[in-house]
Amino acid sequence: MRKTIPVIGMACSACSANVENKLRSIAGVNEATVNLVGRTASIDFDPSQVSLEEIKKQISDIGYDMVIDDELSVQEIEARAWKLLKRKTIMAWLFAAIVMCLSMGWFNAGGRDAANQMSLVVALASIILCGKDFYVNAFRQLRHSTTSMDTLVALSTGISFLFSAYNTFWGDVAWGLQGLEWHTYFDAVTMIIAFVLTGRLLEEKAKDSTASSLRQLMGMAPKTARVVNKKQPTEGDEAGEMVPISTIEKGDFLEVRAGEKIPVDGEVTWASSFMTDDAAYVDESMITGEPTPAMKRVGNKVLAGTIPSQGRLRLRARQIGQDTALAQIIAIVQQSQNSKAPVQRLVDKAAGVFVPVVAIAALLTFVLWLLIAGFDALPQAIISMVSVLVVACPCAMGLATPTALMVGIGKAAERQILIKDATALEQLRKVDALVTDKTGTLTIPNKNVVDFTRANDLALDERETLKPNAREVIDALKKMGIEVHLLSGDRDEAVNYWAQQAGIDNYQSGVLPADKERLVKQLQGEGKTVAMMGDGINDTQALALADVSIAIGSGTDVAMDVAQVTLMGNDLQSVPTAIDLSRRTVKMIWQNLFWAFIYNIVCLPLAAGVLHLFGIEFQINPMWAAALMALSSLSVVLNSLRLKYKKLQ
Residue 453 reports pLDDT greater than 50: no
> 262: closest CA among 196, 204, 350, 324?
324
Decide if 504 contacts 484 (C-beta within 8 A).
yes
Q: Which of 49-58, 205-214, 216-225 has the highest mean pLDDT?
A: 49-58
pLDDT at 499: 92
> Mean pLDDT, to the nearest integer, of 148-175?
84
> 439: closest CA among 502, 360, 524?
502
> Mean pLDDT, to the nearest integer, of 426-441?
90
Task: Give the side-chain half-sphere CA count within 13 A for 26.
Answer: 26
pLDDT at 92: 94
Residue 383 reports pLDDT greater than 80: yes
Whole-number Å distance between alpha carbons of 219 and 279: 27
pLDDT at 285: 79
Decide if 420 contacts 568 (C-beta within 8 A).
no
Q: Which residues pair with 418 in a beta bridge?
A: 566
Q: Which of 238-242, 439-443, 487-491 has the lowest mean pLDDT?
A: 238-242
Residue 454 reports pLDDT greater than 50: no
Angle between helices 378-391 and 149-174 (to 10 degrees): 170
pLDDT at 125: 96
Residue 277 reports pLDDT greater than 90: no
> Mean pLDDT, to the nearest integer, of 341-354?
73
Q: Which of 233-237, 398-402, 431-435, 450-454 has the lowest mean pLDDT?
A: 450-454
Reply yes or no on whether 437 is catalytic.
yes
- What percent of the chain shows pLDDT beyond 70? 88
Residue 24 reports pLDDT greater than 50: yes
The catalytically annotated residue of 150, 252, 348, 437 is 437
pLDDT at 457: 53
Whole-number Å distance between alpha carbons of 331 and 311: 31
pLDDT band at 569 (very low <50, low <70, confident <90, very high): confident
Residue 170 reports pLDDT greater than 70: yes
Whole-number Å distance between alpha carbons of 324 and 217: 13
pLDDT at 556: 47
Q: Which of 1-5, 50-54, 421-425 has the highest mean pLDDT?
A: 50-54
- The three-state secondary structure class of 282 is strand
Residue 614 reports pLDDT greater than 60: yes
Q: Which residues pair with 552 in a beta bridge?
A: 567
Whole-number Å distance between alpha carbons of 263 and 327: 11
Q: From residue 72, how far is each of 225, 406, 559, 622 by CA, in Å? A: 18, 22, 34, 40
Residue 219 reports pLDDT greater than 80: no
Q: From residue 39, how far is each of 199, 208, 211, 287, 394 by CA, in Å? A: 17, 10, 10, 26, 17
Give 554-562 contacts, CB < 8 A, sequence gap 24+: 554/440, 555/440, 555/441, 559/534, 559/535
pLDDT band at 239 (very low <50, low <70, confident <90, very high): low
pLDDT at 233: 52
Whole-number Å distance between alpha carbons of 369 and 391: 18
Q: What is the mean pLDDT of the chain?
A: 84
pLDDT at 450: 46
Exposure string for 408-422, b = 16+ CB within 10 A, e = fewer = bbbbbbebbbbbbbb
DSSP 123-169: HHHHHHHTSHHHHHHHHHHHHTT---HHHHHHHHHHHHHHHHHHHHH
pLDDT digits (tens, 9 = 90+) for 329-339: 777 777 776 67
Beta-strand runs (E) in 493-558:
506-508, 530-534, 548-552
Q: From residue 492, how far is each of 439, 459, 463 by CA, in Å? A: 14, 14, 15
Residue 195 reports pLDDT greater than 80: yes
Rounded to two decimals, what is the model's pTM? 0.75
pLDDT digits (tens, 9 = 90+) for 512-565: 888 888 999 999 999 999 999 987 777 888 888 899 989 887 654 555 677 788
DSSP state of 647: P
> Mean pLDDT, to the nearest integer, of 285-299?
80
- What percent of the chain shows pLDDT beyond 90? 28
Domains for the chain: give ranges and CATH numbers: 223-260+265-319 (2.70.150.10), 417-568 (3.40.50.1000)
pLDDT at 55: 93
> 397: closest CA among 351, 343, 355, 346?
351
Whole-number Å distance between alpha carbons of 398 and 38: 12
Residue 73 reports pLDDT greater than 60: no
Residue 327 reports pLDDT greater than 60: yes
Q: From residue 176, how far is each of 120, 164, 171, 183 by CA, in Å? A: 20, 15, 7, 11
Residue 611 reports pLDDT greater than 50: yes
Could you tell me the sign of the dihedral formed by the alpha carbons of 151, 155, 157, 158, in that order?
Answer: positive
Higher pLDDT, 19 or 173: 19
